[in-house]
Every structure is written in C-alpha cells, then in structure tokens.
Structure 1
Amino acid sequence: MHAVPLMSFAACGGLLALAQAAQAQVQAPALPDVTVRSTLVQSPLDYAPASVTLVDGDRLRDRQWQVNLSEALSTTPGLLLQNRQNYAQDLQLSIRGHGARSMFGVRGVQILVDGIPSTMPDGQGQANNIDLQSVERIEVLRGPYSTLYGNASGGVINAYTARGEGSPRIDSSFAMGSNGQKRLGLKAQGERQGVGYVVSASRFLTDGYRPQSAADKNLFNARLDTDSGPDSHLMMVVNHVEVTAQDPGGATPAEWAADPRFVAKGPMDFNMRKSMRQAQAGLGYDVRVDGRNALRLMVYAGQRRITQYQSTPVASQTPPTSAGGVIDMARDYGGMDLRWAHDTQALSQPLSLVLGLSANVVKEDRQGYNNFLGSQLGVQGALRRDERNTLGNADPYLQASWAFAPQWKLDAGLRWSHVKVDSDDRYITPTNGNDSGDTRFRRWLPMLSVQRALDERTHVYASAGGGMETPTFNELSYRPGGLPGLNFGLQAATSTSLELGLRQRLAGELLRGQWSAALFHTDTDNEIVAADNTGGRATYRNAGRTRRQGLELGANLQLARQWQLNAALTVLDATLRDGFCDSKGGCIAAGKRIAGTARTQAALGLDWRPHADWRVGADWRHVGAIAANDSNSVEAPGYGVLGLSAGYTRQWGPWKLDVFARIDNLADKQYVGSVIVNESNGRYYEAAPGRQWMAGLSASYQF
C-alpha cells in the first residue's frame, strides 16, 4: 500500500492538468454555488472542509425504483452500499471500511433525515425510513469531519425532504419488474397561504429473488414549512414506515455456486421473518436574532416496534442462559439539538462560530421467546428474556470557521461525546441470574481542517480528527463463551483520521462540473470484532489495532450539452495491525483484511439526452472481492455489472407524463450481492439477482 499514495498523487496531478487544459479552451458562465448543509457552518461545496458528495432528488428518482439508497448512491466515493435482496436485514453499508462488520443494520455511520437521527445513541442505525420519492437531496460526508456528529467513525448520510413551494401539484407513479416487484407512489406538494407542504405515500411489494424473501414496505412522509416571522422559520416533519419481510438467510459458497437461489432448511422450517413499524415526528425552528446571531432548535420523538423470528435451532435454546429465537422489541425515543451561530471577526477576518448541544434517549423494552411450541416451529413460545434498556447521550459541541487570509480558511471543532447504556434485567430464575448493569463511553472528539484556494475554482485541504465508535446494544447483548449477562467488558473503538483532498470546478464550454480526489488514513485502537457466532448468537470482543487507508476519486461532469458523466473510484487497504484470538482459541494473524471490505470499487454512469424529451443511460459498477470472515479464508468474488435505462417525458399543458424502463445486470452474471460477515454456519453469501427488468410511468398535474 506504500506505493498507493505516490500513485494517487500522480493520478491527481495528471487529472488536474487535464482539467485545467479543458477548462482553458473556452470560458463559460460560472456554475451556480451549491451549499453544503451537513457542515455545522454551512458553506459552498467548493469551501467544504471535508469530502462530501451531494446527490439531488431528481437524480435519485430518475428511472429508479425509489426504494433503496443503493439505487442511486453507487457513484459516491468511499461508500460501499449493497442491496442484500433481504428487506428483513436492511442494506449493507460502510464508509471507508467503517461499519463493514455489521451482520444487519448500519454501524459506524450516522444517518439523519431532516435533522432527525436514524442512528440510535449506541451507533446502530437504519435507512429504510428515507422517502426517496420526496427527498430534495442526500449528502454523504466522509472522513475526520464526521467526528463532530459524535458516535460515527466512518461518515454521515444526511437526507433532506424537499420544501413545498409554488402552485399545488400532484404526482403519481407506478412501476413493476422482475420477481413480482411493484411500487405505487403518490405525492402532493405546493404552497398555500404561506404554508409549504410535501405529503408523500408509497407501497413496495416483492416476491423476492430467492424463496423466503418476499416483502411489503409502506412509507408515509410529510413536511410542512412556514415563516412564522420576518426572521424565523418553522418546519414540521412526520414519518411512518411499516415493513413485513421474510428472511432467506445466506448460503455457503458451494450452495451458492450450485444454485444462487438456494435457501437453507432452517429459515424455511422456522419461517424466518421480521416485522417493523416506526412512527416519528420532528419540529425545527430557526430564528435570526440579529445580523450576527441565529438560533436553531430541533426536537423529535418516535416509536419503533420490531418482532423478528430467527432460525435458531431448538437445541441451541436449551441452555438456561439462551434468549430464545424470537426478538420482540419496543422502543420509545426522542431528542433535541440546540444550536447558536455567531458571525464575527478575528484579526479583521471573518469568523463563524457554532455552539450546540445534542441530546438523545431511547427507552427499550426487549423480550426474547423460544421460536417453537412443542414440535411446531416458527411460532412464539416460552419467555426467555425480559429487560428494560436505556440508551442515551448528551454531547456539547463547538465549531469555528475562520477565513484568516484571502486564500486560506481554517475549520476547527470539538465535541464531548458521552454515551450511556443501562439495562434492567426482569427475567430472573434459579438458573438465570440478574444480568442488570450499566456502562459509559466518553471521549473528546476534535477536528481540524485547513484549506487553500489555488484559484477561484480549485481548492486543496488537509484535515485531522479523532473518532469513537461504541459497541451497539446488540453487540453488548451476549458474552463470549456462552456466559450469562451482558458484555459490559466491551470497549469503544477509538480512531485517529487524516485526510488530504482536492476539489475543482470546471466551467469550460465542452466540460463543466466538478471532480474531487482524497487520500485518507485512519488508525483505530480496540477495533470491535466478532468473538464467536454459534446457535444464531453473535458475540464480540475488542481486537488490537487496525488501519484503513486509501484513495477516492469522484466526478460529476457535463460533456458538451447532451452528455452527463458520473464516476467514482475507491481503493481501500483495511487491515488488522494486531492479531487476536476468538473465544474458542482460533487466532487471526496481523495483516489480514478487515472482514466485509473490498480493496477496490468503481462506478460509472453516462447519460445521453439527444432531445429535451428523451434520455438514455448506461451505468457500470465494479466491486472487488470481499473478505467474508476474519481469517480471510472465504472471499466473495469480485464482479462488474452493467445496466441500461431510458426515459421519455412529455408535457401537455398542466399535465406531465414520464415513461421509463431499465435493465440491470445486462449480461446476466451470477454474483454475490452482499456477505453476512462471520456467519457461524459458513453461509456468508447473499446472492444478487441475474438479469432484471423494470418499467414504469409517472403522471403529474400542476394546478
């Protein structure tokens, strides 16, 4: 990997020279500024002190299902986002190798929707409540700056619902495709008597690519905006999502090679499945106090209910310390973020300050039951676990942004992250003692970034930060070796990150847009890794040191007037610097690749618009081999897949009709779509579908 930085600098230099040559051909009007909202001190994208990718809502929706983030974020550098084809387990998501260990849900990455965290205080998140039908944009923030969001070593995904403006409009959409996939959508938006509104509802159904993988997802999202005064703004958001999904589990490499649709006997016998229902509401208030001071308050509350039937063997539920094979969980959660912004000067140069407090709490009732009654499998049986858990954090933070010289800017920030976990065990028997307990995780999280403008369109920056990634409550739930009680000996992983980046805007007649490059390096202590995985129970321990380093390249370019190019390349070296041993005495040597990571990934999207009404596109995605376990004895093979799409739009007075179609995996390749890291039975592989088709239409009416 030592050669990679040198090659990366050479590549960056070569691209910079080519871009400057293309830009010098013809000078066109300046490109519009795009404001980044994910930085606490908002700034134009050119001046953002971090690696950040913006994807607007129209691009997210164009010729897509509008169901999964994986559809339209593939050209985001550093982001490995794979659709498991399993709606019981959410997407497989990691940024720069952080979060790769997750067997389900999202770890190591903060997800927020309209300022409301979709990541709980313990760092466990989910993305299935993001309504792509009504989203205005998604920002993906990577690297040291993300430490200012607290418990997130890898990065931040911020989704923003569009604000209703203009005359009322109604949009309806329908799409269908392979494997019984169907999606219905309806959206109303506009502004009336000073109140802007966007109200959206959708339903997605699928039979699934594999047996035991059908799903039904219903989503409702609404946003209301009003200016409550000349210098104040009020926003309210409401979101409801309900998912019922079967779970086919994974397959061994041999089973997958023989039949990609293979499903093991356990998930079928136990009818492995999951149901989830979540409702939440948030209120945001912004007020400009005077020309130098502004306040912002966001408060939110919600409820989440999950019932999950696993395929844990009956024999594995015999020990008195077993939690059974059914998870029944109810969560009440809420929080707030209070922020004061102040504009001033230091040494006669502009200085922006942000001081804030973020606090969140989760009250969780969790029960576990056997997944059998007598000889009947896949039903709720005897109670085996009952506890009341409280997760919370209270984090003050400060950021300063100082343009201390005409071509220079300094950004610095500090956050005190304090995460607490309390568990009150209510299932106490003569053979299962009181497992109550509590633990705390605390750390100062600093960030520093310096950037310089080489010219009006080219900026370089260097940044550093210290991060923390706590174990999630699910990772604390079981102790290695089958011991009773929660795993409160598990420590938080701490990291130090460095980044060097370059960002340039091009404004030539034949080449317009933006491209960026970043070199990154992260050292982590107390990396959280799997200690054991038997009987459907994963336990975790702290390993020693790990290192993640690599290169990211990204481009969003307009070629001439009819072609649009989006491209991304990521090279990642994610390895163990220290070896470790699991609870059974199996040891992993230093130098092994971190499980769940790929060394290379690339994406290329090309759109052609021969006419204002027509658009034709091709997209190609490559993911290198992914280590499926800590020993690296199994790797999911790398792959490259090609997709084609087309769309036609026609306007008739107030009516607008859009017809579209796409084909994915055009060559009908057999490949592994995602891996279940360290799966105990060796069933690591979750198969991706072969050639898939979809077609749909949308109609809108402007009043």
Structure 2
Amino acid sequence: MLRLTPLARHCALASAVLLPSLAQAQNTPTPPAPIERLPTVQVQAARVAQVADIDLPASLTTVWVDEDRTGPLAQLSEALNGIPGVVARDRQNYAQDTQLSIRGFGARSTFGVRGVRVLVDGVPATMPDGQGQLSHASLLSAQRVEVLRGPFSALYGNSSGGVVQVWSADGAEGDPWRLRLDTGSDNTLSAGAQLRGVEGPIRYNVAANHFRTDGWRDHSQARRESVNARLGTDVGGGQLDLVLNYFDAPDAQDPLGLTRAQVRENPRQATAVATQYNTRKSVRQAQAGLVFTRTEGAQTWRAMGYAGQRSVEQYLAIPPAPQLNSPLHAGGVIDLDGDYGGLDARWAWHGDWAGRPLDVVIGANADRQQQDRRGYENFVGDQVGIKGRLRRDQSDRVENVDQFAQAWWQWAPRWSLLLGVRHSTVRFRSNDHYITAGNPDDSGSRRYEATTPVAGVVFRASDAWRLYASAGRGFETPTFNELGYRADGQAGLALDLSAARSRNLEVGSKWHGQNGAQVEAALFRADTDDELAVASNSGGRSTYRNIGRTRRQGAEASYVQPLGAQADLSLAYTWLEATVRDPYALCAAAGCNTVTAGSRLPGVPRQQWNARVQYRPGPWQWAAEVVASSDTVVNDLATERAPGYALLNLELSRRWTTAQGTLRAFARIDNALDQRYIGSVIVNDGNQRFFEPGPDRRYNVGLQWQWAP
C-alpha cells in the first residue's frame, strides 16, 4: 500500500480541491461581485440561518433524511456514516449508546456521548456537564441532521468538540402519512408510523417506533419504544413549537467486550461474566421543550424552555469479593434518577454597518441537572445479578450559566467575517447521604469557568468557490460520571480533575457547482491542555486523570458528483493524527510504564474512507457503498489495536404509485462480502476486553406505505 507523508498527503488533498475550482474560474470569468445585501438571516450560535453553508467559515455537513432510506432507522449512526471527521460506530450493544467522536473528540468515552454536543429540535440532549445521549433522537421523524466540526463548535458551550443537531420536519399542507415495517437478521423488527401535516391552526409531525432484536452477539437482546412529536402554531405574531420525546429501553442485555483470543475463538459470544451476572441496562426518558420565535422588522426574538426526566438502572459484572472487602465500594448496580431542564433566550438584529450587511445576536442560557445516584450490591447471598444492599446514596447537581454574542459582517463584496464569544460557568455539587464508620462524608463541589472566543473569515473567490480560515478556543469539563470515582480508590469525587482547554485552527475550501457537484476540504489542528483520559477501567468502573498536552490534526475531503439525471456519486475521506505531546506515567499493580510523546490517542482511527454510488432508473433504486477504516489503537500504551477493515453494503428498492398512495419495498445487505472485523473498541479496558466485534453478513427487508390523509 502506498504511504504518503503528511506533507505530501496535504498537498495532494489541496490539489484535488483547487484544480476543479481553478478550472471553473478559468472557463467562466467572474466579474467583481456587486455590493448587495444577502437575504435576511436569523443568527444562531455558531450558525447563520438562511446563509448558505458555503458562505460560513466552518465545516458543516447536512444529511437529509428522506423517505427513501433503507434500514431499521433505529440509531442515529445510520445517518452519520460518510461524514468527514465523524466516527459513528454501531456497537451491536443496545445497552450502550452509539460510539460517536468528531475529529477525535469523544473517542475515549466508554459510555454515552461526551466531548460532542447533541441537540434535537434545538433542545439539548447533552447535559450541563457534557454527558449526552443519542438514543431518543428519531430518524423516523427527522428531516435533516447537521454536523458541525471545527473551532465554531465552541460557541455551543462546554464539551463542544463538535456539534450534532437533529431537526424534525415542520408539518405542511399535503404532507403524507406513512407506515413502515422493517425486519432482518437476528430476529430484528422495526415498526413505525409517522403522521405529518396541518390540522386547523396546528402543524404536526408525530412519529412512533417499536424496535426489537435478539442481537448478533449472545446476550444482546434489546427492545426500544419511542415517540417523538413536534407541534407548531402561529401565536402572538410569532411561531410557537412544542417538542415532545419519550423513550423506553427496558433490560437491554450487555454482552461486554471480548479479548483478542475470544474474538478469534467466536466473535458472537458474550463474555462469561455477562451471562453469569446478567449484565443489562434499562433507560427511560421523557422530555418536553417549548420554543417561541418572533421576527419583527430587523429584529428576531427567540425563547426556549425545556424539562425532562431520565432514569437509568445498570447491572455490572463486579464480583462480590471486592464489594465485601472494601467499605468504600459503590456496589455492582447503578441506579440513577434525575430531572433536568433549562432556558435559552436570544435577540438578533439584521441591519447595516458602514453600508455593509451586519447581523448580530446576543443571548444567554442556563441549564440544570439534579440527579439521585445510588449504588447497590449486585448479589444477595450466593445469588448474583440481582439488587442487594445499598452501598452509595448521593444527590448530584450540575448547572451552567452561559452568555454568548456573535456577529456576521459582509465587510467587502468578496469578504465576510464571523466573530463570536461565549462565557461559560459550570458548577458541580454532590451531597453524600451514605455515611458509615468506614465510609466518610464524601460531599463536595467544584466550579469551572471559561471564555471561548472564535473568529472566521471567508473569501468569495467566485460564485462557486469559497476559501476560509477560522480559529478559536474551547473547553471540556469532566462529566459527573468522570468525577464519580477517584483514581486512587479513596472515597469521594475526583474533584482534583481540571477542565481540558483547546486551541483550534482550520483552513478550508468549498466549491459548489451549478449542477449539484460539490468539493469541500479542510485542514485542521486542535491542541489541548490537561487532556482528560482514562486512568483505570475495570469491573464496570472507569476513573479519569489529566494527562497534559495532546494534539489532533488532520485533513478532511468530500466530493459529490451527479452522474446524469438518475445517478450520483459521493466520496469522503478523513486523515486524523491524534497524539500525546507530553509523556506521562501509566501505573498498575504490575508496575509503571511511560506513554511517550508522539503516542497515538486510543479510539481514533488514522484514516477513514466512504464511497457511495446511487442509481435511480424510474421506480427502481440501486445503491452500493464502501465503508473503510484503518486500524485503531485501544489502549494508551498501544500494545493492542483493532485492525482496519473495508465493508461493502448494497441496497435495492422499488416504488409503486397508486391512487391510494405510494408503496415502497426495499432490501439491504450489510457487509455483503462477509468480512470479519472489529466494529468498536472499549478504550483502556482493565480486563483486556477491548473489542466489540462487528456482525457478519446481515440482511433486512421492508415495506413503506405513504398516503395523503
């Protein structure tokens, strides 16, 4: 395989981007752009609404979720494949959320989503401490998914290494209703219904889905129920939207990770202790959000409030001995029950300054999560895998208060500037209610504060071509899960953990042709101080530490090309080098080793490729895609790694239009060549069970019926 140096790779990437643009510029002379005002915009944090993506100094990809998608639509990862810089791994384990990272941020997370901000219809799915989840985001009701990478992510606040936003379609006259049924390998079934349209003054989009599977691996059965609704109406001279979400996933089995030897023996097996302790997780969440937007002349007001409740119960494979031998042990059952909510208010003004278009937004938001955290032994007598005695009882509260401002100015016919700043204050407080002779009062608090400025400039080289550069700062506090256990094994929270702080740079090029062709590329670098990393990960317990400086740098490129009226081709490539810059000691019972400067950060593949070709002759649709990844280091010392892989996926569908509606049948084959591969990894697992194997060849078929009500 040909290997390029980083400099050669960057030059090749730049050539691939610039040559088509230069050719376009040479063939079509572009007169100087006249001084004209762009359409009125609504400015949001890190996004200038109604200004085309090409005119923003940021890497922003929009994935449209149309009715022609195949697959069960059970996880957001189905829509995130093929986006440069994004790793969205289906773990084949519904007890754990999709493994999501953006440009290496969030790759170390062993549970949930952290380091990346997630929002659904403008309502945060990431808590004030930076811990988030994707499980309640519905692809059945979604219209589009937006993914923001680079410096401007910091305008979304704490732990914004990237931003994922899911937007539901607004109901409109003539929108169809639909029923959808999908079934496939491993006794997987997904059945859903979506009702969308207008009834009197109410615009509605309501989607309900039932999903169940036996799982590809042993001990991985799961069931999920979800309901998502967006209801809108015009009131008070503005638009009022009510967003509702309900999600229930009871007793999803957790097969745990496997060692390399276990993968070779049988990749479908579950670790023995998974069945012995019946490792499983139950999640239930309900939330509501209310958004009011009003535009009057040059001003726009937006106010949003939301509230929700989330409960989690998880059974771990921790043996009774360590629980009995340590009075400080928190047990083998995690029981979380909490409420959360927040407010967001912003004001935008659209006008001129020095005769040039100017848009300004000023706003503030406050979010709060109150959580009761209890721990229980996972045994009673000789029986394991059941809830036993109480071993932990505390009330945790985290809240943030942020202020932000942003300005976009087209200061010359070919130049525009986007500036922003956000000030964030995050407060943690824990009150211990489990106090014994051997377990003292572990109450404590910690406050983190940061100001994160960002700036970007765009040069309009031609009507089709833009060049941009941006820079900014970001910060990432520990989450409550990371503060929950001290690395030295003593009682109390890890309140000595510092927030990680990053400096981000990006330069890029965007070329959008009139026929729908697009070529985009970016070079980026993020230097982080006080990087948060796993200190230990054993027996269901992860502890964390600050390890010093790290660097994430690389290149992204994407290419979209229509192939006539009935076909199109899309390509995406990511090269990412994530490394440690300061050496540090890594100590265990067997002694200490040094992680040297230049070592790769675990969980981050160096290269990713994605290619998709789609052909739509008449009512038929065929598609083929190739998804490939290089190897992934799984621990800090790089003694183990998951090998790279390349997978082929195939799709076929047929549409029939009748007077009663439209019927669509579809089929998909994942991993058509039946490759063995590691789908995801568990970073720094203390039992050496780093690997979560991906499935062999899998099939699914489905029917979708759409009609006008």
Which range, TM-score by smaller chain? over 0.9
Q: Which residue of 2 aligns with 1:324?
A: 331
Conserved in 1, the CA contact under 8 Å of 2:316 and 2:539? Answer: no
Conserved in 2, the CA contact under 8 Å of 1:165 and 1:191? Answer: yes
Matches within 5 A, 1:190-589: 190-229=197-236, 231-244=237-250, 245-288=252-295, 290-318=296-324, 319-508=326-515, 512-584=516-588, 585-589=592-596
CA distance in 2, matches of 1:320, 1:65: 46
SS of the residue 2:478 aligns to: coil
CA distance in 1, matches of 2:706, 2:16: 46
SS of the residue 1:11 aligns to: helix
Conserved in 1, the CA contact under 8 Å of 2:523 and 2:555? Answer: yes
TM-score when scaled to structure 2? 0.95
Conserved in 2, the CA contact under 8 Å of 1:36 and 1:44? Answer: no
CA distance in 2, matches of 1:216, 1:38: 36
Q: Which residue of 2 aligns with 1:682?
A: 688
Conserved in 2, the CA contact under 8 Å of 1:111 and 1:158? Answer: yes
Using a 3 Å threshold, how does the CA distance of structure 1 residues 40 and 505 change in structure 2: closer, same or farther? closer
Name the amino acid aligned to 1:228.
V
CA distance in 1, matches of 2:437, 2:311: 30
Matches within 5 A, 1:151-170: 151-167=158-174, 169-170=176-177
CA distance in 2, matches of 1:446, 1:616: 46
CA distance in 2, matches of 1:5, 1:126: 37
Alpha-carbon shift at residue 168 of structure 1 (Å): 5.8
Q: Which residue of 1 aligns with 2:34?
A: none
Q: Which residue of 2 aligns with 1:133?
A: 140
Using a 3 Å threshold, how does the CA distance of structure 1 residues 346 and 2 change in structure 2: closer, same or farther? farther
CA distance in 2, matches of 1:24, 1:388: 65
Q: 1:50 aligns with which of 58, 63, 66?
A: 58
Q: Which residue of 2 aligns with 1:633?
A: 639
Conserved in 1, the CA contact under 8 Å of 2:25 and 2:462? Answer: no
Does 2:5 match 1:12?
Answer: no
Alpha-carbon shift at residue 533 of structure 1 (Å): 2.4
Alpha-carbon shift at residue 535 of structure 1 (Å): 3.2
CA distance in 2, matches of 1:292, 1:169: 35
TM-score when scaled to structure 1? 0.96
C-alpha offsets along residues 273-297 of structure 1, whole Å, 9 cap, x if unaligned?
Answer: 0000000000000011x32111000
Using a 3 Å threshold, how does the CA distance of structure 1 residues 275 and 221 change in structure 2: closer, same or farther? same
Alpha-carbon shift at residue 38 of structure 1 (Å): 6.9
Conserved in 2, the CA contact under 8 Å of 1:225 and 1:234? Answer: yes
C-alpha offsets along residues 35-90 of structure 1, whole Å, 9 cap, x if unaligned?
Answer: 9977343221111221000001117x611211112222211000011000001111
Alpha-carbon shift at residue 515 of structure 1 (Å): 2.0
Unaligned runs of 5+ in 1: 28-32
Does 2:665 match 1:659?
Answer: yes
Conserved in 2, the CA contact under 8 Å of 1:548 and 1:572? Answer: yes
Conserved in 2, the CA contact under 8 Å of 1:38 and 1:139? Answer: no
Name the amino acid aligned to 1:241.
F
Indicate the percent of aligned positions where both proteins have the same amino acid.
Answer: 42
CA distance in 2, matches of 1:371, 1:24: 71
Alpha-carbon shift at residue 124 of structure 1 (Å): 0.6
CA distance in 2, matches of 1:617, 1:680: 41
CA distance in 2, matches of 1:8, 1:461: 16
SS of the residue 2:456 aligns to: strand
Q: How many residues align?
A: 691
Alpha-carbon shift at residue 20 of structure 1 (Å): 5.4
- The two structures, once aligned, show a CA RMSD in angstroms of 1.9
Conserved in 2, the CA contact under 8 Å of 1:234 and 1:285? Answer: yes
Using a 3 Å threshold, how does the CA distance of structure 1 residues 551 and 35 change in structure 2: closer, same or farther? farther
Name the amino acid aligned to 1:369.
Y
CA distance in 2, matches of 1:15, 1:559: 19
CA distance in 1, matches of 2:392, 2:129: 21
CA distance in 1, matches of 2:469, 2:22: 22
CA distance in 2, matches of 1:35, 1:223: 21
Q: Which residue of 2 aligns with 1:30?
A: none
Conserved in 2, the CA contact under 8 Å of 1:19 and 1:506? Answer: no
CA distance in 2, matches of 1:10, 1:533: 40
CA distance in 2, matches of 1:120, 1:240: 17
- Deviates most, 192-201 or 385-394: 192-201
Using a 3 Å threshold, how does the CA distance of structure 1 residues 26 and 620 change in structure 2: closer, same or farther? farther
SS of the residue 1:456 aligns to: coil
Conserved in 1, the CA contact under 8 Å of 2:307 and 2:342? Answer: yes
C-alpha offsets along residues 419-439 of structure 1, whole Å, 9 cap, x if unaligned?
Answer: 111000000000000000000
